[in-house]
Structure 1
Amino acid sequence: MNNIFGLLLLFMTLTGCWATNCQDNFLAFHGSCYLFGDIQLSFYEAEHYCNQHDAHLVHVDDSLEGDFLKEHLRHLKPFDLWWMGLTDEIAEGHFVWTDDNTPAQYTDWHASQPNGGVEDCVVFAAYFGFQWGDLDCTAKENFICEIQSGEAEVVG
């Protein structure tokens, strides 16, 4: 079943509902462009890296986007953890997106997460099947940048 879903997502990516004019090394899906960072940085360094590429750490809007990202991450092993742009650094337990400071409406937490403490930033975690977990923001991990449809040039 995973292979069928993966092929469907690949087909949607290549022919999809949206065509975008993405920068080199960015992957298009449903009107957004994604860059899967192949270096390990802290949460803050990763956000800065994304900003330098006119992007931000990924903001996951719904299960369709989340499933696409998880399926793509499954093919990028051996990397285990991937930063997204979600944090509760300002108020413990109140997770907001760094790109627009809005509370998370959609989440995909693993059953044991978030577990609080000094873990204020959020990752896709391979050991949770790429469900979400919280982590210390200073940890060096891979990351996903996004240029959302409102920021990407839609060409179709």
Structure 2
Amino acid sequence: MEVSVTCFWCLFLAFLLQTSETYSERTNSCDVMIDECIYNVQIRSTEICKKQSTSRRKRADSVTLERLENAPLTPKDFHQLSKKLIRITEQMSVRILRWWRKLDKKIDAMTGSSHQRRSLERNNGCPDHFVGLKNWPSCYLFSKFNTSWYNAKDFCMAFDSDLVAMGTVKEHFLLTFFIKNNLAINREAGWWTSGSFLGTTRQWMWTSQFYTKPFTFIKWGEGEPNEDGSQCMLLKAEDDHLWHDQICTRRFNFICEIQTKDSS
């Protein structure tokens, strides 16, 4: 009996689906019975298949998740899916970084042609015991002792300053850089900021002797804030200096902030 190519493949695929136990992955072959005759079928890749493999893999990636919804995950499937997700995440990270750099350049261009890039050059306009960067609007004092949040505010006021209020993500990373890069203070458990939970507004605010303003961004640690009785915010060293709520009477180091006299 003659079997056309199209008919043969239909029979072959039906055979694989219904009697897959006779299929051999090692040899890519199987036995097909047609009119009581047994045919051994082998599959070999050609150059055309190899050239099309890239496009097929891309199509396969798009339907993998859909297939997994209707079938249980095997260890092999889980491993392959994990590799694909890691690859996709890495590609997204590169794209986000490129986008962020472009956005940063556009922001610099919008601030005016006289805008200068900030450097690690010292800000000479900072008072004694304060540190800052050239062209940065604030100077900071990092205490070498710990105290309560309330006393920390009073110490800062004695220097005509306030507990630090972070206005941007860049400022958060600048402060953590100063801490981590200073061997004299980088082992301290935490650093008080002016962040406080106000019962009147039921939200976290930056508080000082001159103003009260809400957070414009957040860098809370995982699960934070997590305690009703903890109404003051600090940078916690063991959590990579992310934000944590804490009881205000606990003793930690603190950061004072003052506006620089040399912001140009």
Task: Give the TM-score category using the shorter length.
Answer: 0.7 to 0.9
Amino acid at match of 1:26: F
Residues paired across the two proteins, number: 140
Aligned partner of 1:22 in structure 2 is 126
Ranges in structure 1 where 5+ consecutive residues have no aligned partner = 1-10
Aligned partner of 2:15 in structure 1 is none
Distance 2:171 2:204 in 1: 18
Q: Is the 8 A contact 1:20 1:31 kept in 2?
A: no
Shift in Å, 1:13: 3.0
Shift in Å, 1:77: 2.2
Q: What's the CA shift string for 1:74-125, capped at 9, x where partnerless?
A: 2332201000000004358501111221111111101221012211000000
Distance 1:153 1:145 in 2: 16
Amino acid at match of 1:140: R
Amino acid at match of 1:72: F
Ranges in structure 2 where 5+ consecutive residues have no aligned partner = 1-117
Amino acid at match of 2:127: Q
Aligned partner of 1:134 in structure 2 is 245
Aligned partner of 1:97 in structure 2 is 206
Amino acid at match of 1:98: T
TM-score for the superposition, normalised by structure 1: 0.82
Q: What value does the CA root-mean-square deviation take over the aligned residues?
A: 1.8
Q: Is the 8 A contact 2:137 2:263 kept in 1?
A: no
Q: Give the secondary structure class of the aligned counterpart of 2:120.
A: helix
Query: 1:63 and 2:154 equivalent?
Result: no
Alignment of 1:1-156 (within 5 A): 12-14=119-121, 19=123, 21-29=125-133, 30-75=136-181, 76-91=185-200, 94-99=203-208, 100-148=211-259, 152-154=260-262, 156=264
**Structure 1 or 2: larger strand share?**
1
Q: Give the secondary structure class of the aligned counterpart of 1:41.
A: coil
Distance 2:120 2:128 in 1: 15
TM-score for the superposition, normalised by structure 2: 0.50
Q: Give the secondary structure class of the aligned counterpart of 1:54.
A: coil
Task: Compare relative contact order (CA 8 Å, sep 6+) and give the higher one, 1 or 2.
Answer: 1
Distance 1:93 1:38 in 2: 32
**Structure 1 or 2: larger helix share?**
2
Q: 4+ residue stretches of structure 1 with deviation over 2 A?
A: 89-93
Shift in Å, 1:66: 0.5
Q: Is the 8 A contact 1:20 1:33 kept in 2?
A: no
Larger Rg: 2
Q: Is the 8 A contact 1:83 1:123 kept in 2?
A: yes
